[in-house]
Amino acid sequence: MKRIKNLLLNDKFIIVLIIINSLIIFMQGFDFQSTFLGILFHIDSLITLVFVFELIFKLKEFGIKGYLSSKWNIFDAILIIISIPSLYFWIFGGATSFVGFLIVLRVFRVFKFFRFMRFLPDINNIINGVQRALKNSIVVLLGFIVYNFIIAVLSCSLYKDIAPEYFNNPLESYYTVFRIFTVEGWYEIPEQISENSSVIVGNLSKLYFIVILLTGGIFGLSLVNSVFVDAMVSDNNDELIEKVKSLEEKIDKLLEKE
């Protein structure tokens, strides 16, 4: 039992299991023979059971409070728990009307892939960078969303009858405008509007969508990306700045004494 406990507490062993499990889940998406797929299913379920025992042993080793003190442990626990329903089908061999809804939950086993992230080098720095980038770019993102909303409502009013497949309602219009921002279908949509309207309306519509593409697609998305990337790659050097200021103050005091 002690050897099993030490094995399940060994990160290297867990990494190997995660990699094997990921490959098995990947292979289960192919149309192999039912016998081979059955073998893969048994191995997948067995590894899931090992992960459950890993969770139990870690809770006993570190205690509930100690285990939950780590965000990565909480993340692992959630992924393991949502994978447990697949064990029902492994043990009982199928779904009854009482647990039929668990069939949907089986797809959550793919989230076991994410357990591998915690073992990536500098993953904590990357996550901190993403959090910092989201915080710094939230105003720009909100502005972009509001701009998309305004253009969507305006476009819906203008082209609801001309191109209902794109602007039938504000929600559909919002999605269409967002597609144009991402440079998808930006020329097909105005071309279709031109075919269904007069020459003047068609030409003005082309100009209208060019302005949308320039302001929202090229300028807007570029601004969002630049702010996000700049915050992502920048170091959180507030502590360093404070140390530099403190050093400058000490130097100034030394110069004043002289």
Instruction: Provide the pLDDT for residue 99.
Output: 44
| Residue 236, burial from CB neighbour count under 10 angstroms (0-12, 13-18, 19+) | exposed
Residues 108 and 129 occupy one common structural domain: no
- Claim to verify: residue 79 and residue 149 sit in the same structural domain: no
Could you give the percent of the chain with pLDDT greater than 90?
Answer: 9
pLDDT digit string (tens) for 212-227? 888 887 777 777 777 7
Rounded CA-CA distance 250/239 in Å is 17
* Predicted local confidence at residue 156, as pLDDT: 92
d(CA 186, CA 152): 14
Q: Are residues 129 and 106 in the same domain?
A: no
Same domain, 146 and 202: yes
Is residue 106 domain-shared with residue 129, that is, in the same domain? no
CATH classification of the domain holding 67: 1.20.120.350
- Report the pLDDT value the prediction gives residue 4, as an integer from 0 to 100: 79
Q: For position 174, what pLDDT does the model report?
A: 92
* Sequence letter at residue 58: K
**C-alpha torsion sign, points 92, 95, 97, 103:** positive
Whether residues 108 and 160 share a domain: the answer is no
* More confident position, 16 or 156: 156
Cβ-Cβ contacts under 8 Å for 53 (sequence gap 6 or more): 4, 8
How confident is residue 72, by pLDDT bands cut at 50, 70 and 90? confident
Task: Give the helix ranges, DSSP H, for the chain.
Answer: 2-8, 11-27, 34-68, 71-83, 85-92, 102-105, 123-159, 164-167, 170-181, 188-195, 199-212, 221-233, 238-257
- Say if residues 231 and 132 touch (Cβ distance below 8 Å): yes
**36 and 153 share a domain?**
no
Separation between Cα atoms, residue 239 and residue 145, nearest integer Å: 34
> In this structure, are 160 and 105 located in the same domain?
no
Residues 14 and 54 grouped into a single domain: yes
Is the domain of 143 the same as that of 112?
Answer: no
Domain limit, last residue, from 120, 151, 179: 120
**Statement to judge: residues 209 and 95 lie in one domain:** no
Tell me what pLDDT residue 155 has.
92
Identity of the residue numbered 111: F
Domain boundary among 120, 154, 186: 120
Lowest mean pLDDT among 2-16, 24-38, 127-141, 144-158: 127-141
The structural domain count of the chain equals: 2
Residue 60 domain boundaries:
2-120
Residues 146 and 218 in one domain: yes
Q: Is the pTM of this model over 0.75?
A: no
Average pLDDT of the segment spanning 6-28:
81
Among the candidates 85, 120, 155, a domain finishes at 120
The tens digit of pLDDT for each residue in 88-129 reads: 777 776 544 444 444 455 555 566 666 666 666 666 676 676
pLDDT at 254 over 80: no
The residue among 111, 115, 154 whose CA lies nearest residue 25 is 111
32-41, 112-121, 203-212: range with highest mean pLDDT: 203-212
Q: Are 137 and 228 in contact (CB under 8 A)?
A: yes
Mean pLDDT of the chain: 78
- CATH code for position 167: 1.10.287.70
What percent of the chain clears pLDDT 70, i.e. is strictly above it? 74
